Chain A
Amino acid sequence: QVQLVQSGAEVKKPGASVKVSCKTSGYTFNDHYLHWVRQAPGQGLEWMGWINPDNGGTKYAQKFQGGVTMTRDTSISTAYMELSSLRSDDTAVYFCARDLGGSNYHLDYWGQGSLVIVSS
């Protein structure tokens, strides 16, 4: 069965960086884009971008350009999202999600979420 398992909670100071992992299993890693979505406490969902695991290509929301880096390690079917220069308003739960692709794009499997707290 398809599974996306994310790394645990992190507490970071403002200005630091955080790297969240998303280990996948149950499907061919290279066949499906992986997206990152975040949710601030009590707020809605915010799309951050995607990575194409096949070639490492990425697309980021403009808001996160220059601050986010999405990478992958195909040998262990794992994707990563690194966010730098953290601010307090980056405190959120970060989700990875698989894009089924095909004729319509949608996120059919999600990780459990990784809480990142930014606090001095």
Chain B
Amino acid sequence: DTQMTQSPSSLSASVGDRVTITCRTSHSISSYLNWYQQKPGKAPKLLIYAASSLQSGVPSRFSGSGSGTDFTLTISSLQPEDFATYYCQQSYTTPWTFGQGTTVEIK
């Protein structure tokens, strides 16, 4: 199985901060990497697919980059509604696997 390692597991940040979350995979997945946001009690929401493509309707402050084994999700200016847990997920091979999540908390 493809192991996904996200870092950090949690972070505290203020509104307006630039936030970066990284995801490393145990072997190359090309660009088959997606990012989801999940708020408590809700289903995950797709933010970024194919490593860097912004899902329709998602604010442009979210961006993704990377290929191979190293990927990054960046929030350019954190907004109050962005406090949530973020997961990376690979769709290169089954079983699909998710990172363990990064919780973004209010500082």
Binding site for A on B (CB under 8 A): 31-32, 34, 36, 38, 43-46, 49-50, 53, 55, 87, 89, 91, 94-101
Contacts and interface: CB of A to CB of B under 8 A. Distances in A.
Interface in A73-120: 95, 97, 100, 103-108, 110-113
A75 B19 CA distance: 46
Contacts of B87: 44-45
B49 A113 contact: no
Interface residues of A, number: 24
B43 A106 contact: no
Contacts of B95: 47, 49, 61-63
Given A104-B32, A105-B32, A108-B55, A47 B97 contact: yes
Nearest to A105: B91
A104 B32 CA distance: 6
B46 A95 contact: no
A100 B44 CA distance: 15
B50 A95 contact: no
Contact of B94 (A45, A61, A103, A111): A61
Contacts of A37: 44
A46 interface: yes
A104 B96 contact: no
Interface centre among A103, A110, A112, A113 (most CB of B within 10 A): A110
B44 A95 contact: yes
Contact of A106 (B38, B50, B97, B99): B50
Contact of B49 (A61, A63, A104, A110): A104
7 contacts: A44-B98, A44-B101, A63-B95, A106-B89, A107-B89, A108-B46, A111-B43
Nearest to A59: B94
A54 to B, nearest CB: 18
B96 A110 contact: no
Contact of A44 (B31, B53, B100): B100
B31 A104 contact: yes
